[in-house]
Each structure stands twice: as structure tokens, then as C-alpha cells.
Amino acid sequence: MIQSIKIDWLNCFGIKSLNHEFKFSAGKQVHLIYAANGTMKTSFAKTMKFLSEQSKEKPCDQLCKENDVKYDLTADGNNILNKNIFVVNGDDEIDSSGSFINFLASVELKTKYDEIYQKLTKEKESLMTKLKSSSQSTDCEKEIVETFTQNEDDTIFSILEKIDPEVNIGLPVFEFRYNDVFDTKGAVKAFLENHKENLKEYIENYEKLLTESTLYRSVGAHAFGTYQVTQLSQYVSDGVFFGVQHKIVLQDGTEVTSHEQLQKMMSDEQERILNDEKLRKSFEKITKAIDKNTELRGFKAVIESHPEWILEMLNYEDFRKKVWLGYLAKTDVKPLFDSYIQIYNENKDKLLEVLLQAGEQQERWKDIINLYNARFHVPLKVSIANQRDIILKKEAAKLQFSYIVEGQAPIIKERKELDKILSRGEKRAFIILQFLFEMEARKMVGDDCILVMDDIADSFDYQNKYAIVEYIKDLAERGGNKFYMLIMTHNYDFYRTVSSRLSLFQNNLWMVERTADGKVTLETGQYKGNVYANAFVGHDDNDKIFISMIPFVRNLIEYTKGEKVSEYITLTDCLHMKGDTTSITESQVIDILNDYTLGKGIKRTKTVNKVYNLIWLRQTQLQTRQRLIQC
């Protein structure tokens, strides 16, 4: 257990210096800090966020950045790991995506899953790197998933397994830059759909020329075109086939006895087909339409080099599949694909077993959702829509929100829509849900956590403010002695509520003092109970207490008797320059205050001293003291 946390900071945002030690013991792991606005809260939270790596903004003196900076934070003399610090602010959303995985499965299952996942990921990344080189696709994995997904459970892993039987050496390889045909904006697909008539005209002319060819053939659904002949030529190019007196006999009886003869036939036939006047004109119609869109320049280059691929492209999504299968079947890619499939098959059963067991461990996240729905009062209920995918696909959790309108059926809303519907306080309550997930995940991990809360309940209504206080109490009492909390607030009511509800001792309460030059100190906290009864009543012989009672009692009179009674007018005249301000005596004020001392009376002796002179004297003394401190 951590015994103490020491802070030694210099020029951290608005904090010129802060040197303080927080001490902890069993059952006393919460320090509550009252910090009025402008003293240190924001700078303290920002520095802690940098130390926790929740923020990349490095502490500095914002007015003079060349000044030395120090942000030492130690626990029992040792540096604290960034993962053991967490800062929560009611205005800042929390990235709790990683936390979901931690509590949706036990640590043991998570470890097993990670071992398998890392093996598969290593093989997959090697394959994707090679594929990117071959295809020049900007995101091979995303494209493959989009191309072959058949249901919502499909992942890159299951898809590669599914297409394995189709990936064979000898598949056609379409050598072009992937995004020239399958662009992210969909320009090529739109062009193919919008110019079907011109494309069909070209294909009809092309197929007619194929039927007239000796070498190329098109019979029904089968076409033996330029690609197929090119592949055939490559297979026999080493001379072995023809060297052993084999020959190729075409459908019309023509015999091909050498590679050179085959090459010449290919050249002659291609020249005849591509120079056909009718075909050329139909192709020009296509290219003229393409020239109107600069985004199609790459596509134009592809079909100019291989006009025979236009036929394939009309079945756009099928062609996309053929292209990827061809890339995967390339001789330099196939070995990496086979290696991945082997590792996947070796670990598939283990992976499915882990997922099956994880599916049985759903109660923890359900408990958190139920806790949130029960304790926090917002007009929506929350559930997790993709619990299995969080583990299987390493996805961020998708929270589903049902907006509740009295007398109507719940309305499912997207997270972005809620920003337009919820009040500021209700939005903060949603951030608390993220906070709950983060804390429960950290409970499971079991590491020590320095938890900094920065006005976590600001803008909450009474019900939600009390709910977060109760959760803080739960963390303090049932957090396994792993949470060391530094709770900051500028709200005095929240300060008193937390100190009372958590039964904090005085050495766990702090009030921030800040000098004019930004030096910050934490003084022992006061007034955790009834401030007026404990700090004012019975202490009115102190001039500062006596003066402070005047506006407080004036407000009580305003709420109980109204603004027209003489007591209210007299006390108001003490606070504002009126006709009789300089003549009001202490004796007059004591007579009024005496009725508001909870029956204890006023200790101060009645005098004819003027209240105006007393206030003026005390403020002059304060100004003098402040100047001396600054010197």
C-alpha cells in the first residue's frame, strides 16, 4: 500500500510552485481539496493528465516558456508509472474503449486471447504489407473486409479462412493500381453504371471480333481472350513444352509448334482486334466520357492498356473479388497467405473456446450498466450493442441509448444526437458512465491508481451529485485499497458533502492558498460541518468574523422578512455607501445579529464605534499584509 505521494512542481501552467505531501493509510485514501476558481485546479489537472499520458500538452510557464519546469510526482520515493495515474473531469469525455475489453472477459481469458490474437496479427500484418506493395491499395485490410463480408460477425480472420479454397496459383492477376479502379469516392463505379450503353456497345463489338479470331474464342459464358493467351504464353516461354515436341492445336485445326509462333499470332490478333474501326469508335465514346472527370485518369490508363477488362468491370463487385483473389494468389504473396492460414487453423479452436467462455462472463458489464441506470437520473437508458465484437474484432464498445419520454416508447438515439438533446448536467452524467467503466476495469487489473477528480460533479442536479458522491464512497470503501483519490472542487457544498459522507478527518481536508505570483500551498481544511454554527457563532469577538456575519444575516432577513424591514436596510447600508453608512454603530448591528446566533447570543461588547471605520481599518490591514507577502 502507498504511504505517501509527494508533489514537487515548478512552473506547471498557472502553478508557479507547489510542494506538498499527501499521506495515506488503510481506510484513509481520500484527500479532498477545496480550490476556489483561479487558484490551481485546472493547472493541477492538466499536469496530472500529462503525467498519465492522457494529454500530450507538456507543462510549462505559459507566460515565460523558457523558465525552468519541474513536475516530479513520487509514491513512497519512487516514480509513478503513467498507467497508474488517471484524471477525470466532468467536461472531458473518457476514451474507455480499452477498458471494455478488460472487464468483458477475465484476466486469464484475456491473456489467452491476446496470445492467440498476437500470433494471428503478426502473420496477418506480414501478409497485408506484401499485399499493399502488390496492389498499392491505401488500406488492404479494410478493402478485403468490405469486399468479402457476408454477415456482421465477419472479421479479417474469418474472411481469409473463408476464401482460402479460392486462392490458387494461376488465378488471373490484374496488374493495376487498386484505387485506380476501386476508388474510395466511388467515381469509377458511378461511371460504369452511368455509361452502360456505351460499354455494352464496346463489349458486343469486342466479342464479335473474338468469334472471328483463330486464337481468341468466346463461346457462351466462356471467353479465351488476351489475358488467357498471355498466361498460356508465359507457361510455355521456357521452351520445355515445345522442346519435347508438344504442340498446341487450335479449334480450327491450326497447329502451334513454337513459342515464337504463338507470340506472333497473339500480336497479329491483338492488332487486328484493337485496330478495328468499329471497335475503336465505340472505345472513343468511352474515353471521351472519361475525360470529363479528372478523377478517372487512372481508370482511363487501365482500360487503355487492357480494354478487354471492361467486360469484367461491368460486374463491378465480382470483379473486385477476382482482383483480390488474384493478388493473394501471386507467387510472392501466396506463401505468406498459406503461412497465415496454417497459424489460423492451428489456433482456431482455442480462439473459439476463449470467445465461448468470454460470452458467459457478461455479468460484470451488465452490473455497471445497471448501476448507472439505477443511480444516475438522465432521460435515457444505456446498453452495449456489440459485446462480442469488442473482444472478437477489438472494436470500441458501441453504447446504445434509449431516450425516455414519459408516456412514449423508448427512442433509440445515436451518441452524436444526444449532444443536441441533453442538458450540460446530463451530458456530464454520461461522462460518469465512461468513468464507471474505467474504474471497474482498473479494479480488475488490480494495480494502484492515483485518481484525480477535477470538479467531477459540477453542474449536476442534486440527485446526480449525490449519486457520484455515493460511487466515490464505494471506491473508497470497496476499491481494494488500490485507489488513492485527490478530489478537487470549487463548490463548497460539494466539499462539505464529500467530507461528511466519507467521514474524512481534518488531515485529509485541504484548502488552496495562492499568492499573487502564483505560488500554491495547501492549508489544513476547515468547516466540514455547519460553517455558520462552528466558525461564526461564538467567534464574533473577532473583527473579521463580525464583519462577515453582516452580509450573511442580511440575506437571512431578506428571505424571511423581506427587503423593507429596518434590519435589512441597516445591514445593507453597512455594505453600500448610503446616507447613514458612516454613522451606523457596532451596537446597532449587534442588536440585529443577536437574533441569528442559534440562541447563543453575541459575545462582542456593544460600543458606539462605527462599523464603517472597522471595515475600513481591516481592509487596510489586509492590503498591507498582501504587499508584504509579495515582497
Strand (E) or helix (H) holding 401? strand 399-403
pLDDT score at 168: 78
Helix (H, G, I), strand (E, B) or coil at 197: helix
Q: Are residues 231 and 202 in the same domain?
A: yes
Q: Which residue has the cell 503478426?
A: 122
Which cell numbers in the block locate residue 32?
479532498
On whether the CB atoms of residues 593 and 602 are closer than 8 A, the answer is: yes
pLDDT score at 99: 45
Q: Which amino acid is at 118?
A: Q
pLDDT score at 127: 93
Question: Which domain covers residue 91, as residue numbers?
Answer: 4-103+362-524
Q: Are residues 366 and 408 in the same domain?
A: yes
Number of domains in the chain: 4
Where the chain has pLDDT below 70, the residues are 92-110, 169-170, 218, 220-221, 223, 226-227, 358-365, 378-401, 403-407, 410-430, 459-461, 527-535, 598-599, 628-631
Which cell numbers in the block locate residue 324?
483480390
Would you say residue 194 lies in a domain? yes
- How many Cα atoms are found within 13 Å in the side-chain-facing hemisphere of 631? 6
- The Cα 162–Cα 110 span in angstroms is 26
Q: Are residues 190 and 281 in the same domain?
A: yes
Which cell numbers in the block locate residue 265?
499470332
Name the DSSP class of 233: H
Would you say residue 390 lies in a domain? yes
Domain boundary among 341, 356, 371: 356
Q: Which residues contact 290 (CB under 8 A, 6 or more apart)?
A: 191, 296, 299, 300
pLDDT score at 271: 79
Would you say residue 201 lies in a domain? yes
Q: Are residues 165 and 183 in the same domain?
A: no
Would you say residue 384 lies in a domain? yes
Q: Are residues 444 and 456 in the same domain?
A: yes
Q: Are residues 314 and 206 in the same domain?
A: yes
Name the pairing type of β-strands 449-454 and 483-489: parallel
Which cell numbers in the block locate residue 99?
477498458
Q: Are residues 315 and 370 in the same domain?
A: no
Residue 69 CA: distances (Å) to CA of 11, 54, 411, 445, 450: 5, 19, 51, 33, 22
Phi, psi of 363 (to 5 degrees): -65, -30
- The Cα 137–Cα 131 span in angstroms is 8
Q: 276-281 contacts: CB < 8 A, separation 24 or more?
A: 276/205, 276/209, 278/205, 279/202, 279/205, 279/206, 279/209
Q: 188-196 contacts: CB < 8 A, separation 24 or more?
A: 188/296, 188/299, 189/316, 191/289, 191/290, 191/293, 191/296, 191/299, 192/313, 192/314, 192/316, 195/286, 195/289, 196/314
On whether the CB atoms of residues 397 and 390 are closer than 8 A, the answer is: yes
Residue 410 CA: distances (Å) to CA of 373, 400, 405, 423, 424: 14, 12, 7, 18, 21
Helical H runs in 152-276? 156-163, 178-181, 187-194, 196-211, 226-235, 240-243, 259-274
Would you say residue 297 lies in a domain? yes
Q: Are residues 395 and 502 in the same domain?
A: yes
Residue 63 CA: distances (Å) to CA of 14, 39, 60, 404, 518: 9, 16, 9, 48, 12
On whether the CB atoms of residues 594 and 605 are closer than 8 A, the answer is: no
pLDDT score at 100: 45
pLDDT score at 530: 65
Helix (H, G, I), strand (E, B) or coil at 421: helix
Sheet holding 78-79, edge to edge: 78-79, 70-75, 4-12, 15-23, 519-524, 509-514, 30-34, 483-489, 449-454, 85-89
Q: Which residue has the cell 481508370?
A: 299
Residue 457 CA: distances (Å) to CA of 381, 427, 437, 493, 512: 20, 11, 17, 11, 19
Give the max Cα distance, the chain.
Answer: 134
Three-state secondary structure of 436-465: HHHHHHHHHHCCCEEEEEECCCCCCCHHHH
Would you say residue 239 lies in a domain? yes
Would you say residue 530 lies in a domain? no
Q: What share of the chain is helix, strand, coil (3-state, %, to 5)?
A: 55, 15, 30
Q: Which amino acid is at 127?
A: L
Would you say residue 504 lies in a domain? yes
pLDDT score at 227: 67
pLDDT score at 113: 75
- The Cα 171–Cα 327 span in angstroms is 9
45 C-beta neighbours (distance < 10 Å), count: 23
Q: Are residues 210 and 293 in the same domain?
A: yes
Q: Are residues 519 and 426 in the same domain?
A: yes
- The Cα 2–Cα 23 span in angstroms is 9
Q: Which of 339, 417, 327, 318 is nearest to 120 (CA)?
A: 339
Q: Are residues 316 and 341 in the same domain?
A: no
pTM for this prediction: 0.53
Q: Are residues 306 and 447 in the same domain?
A: no
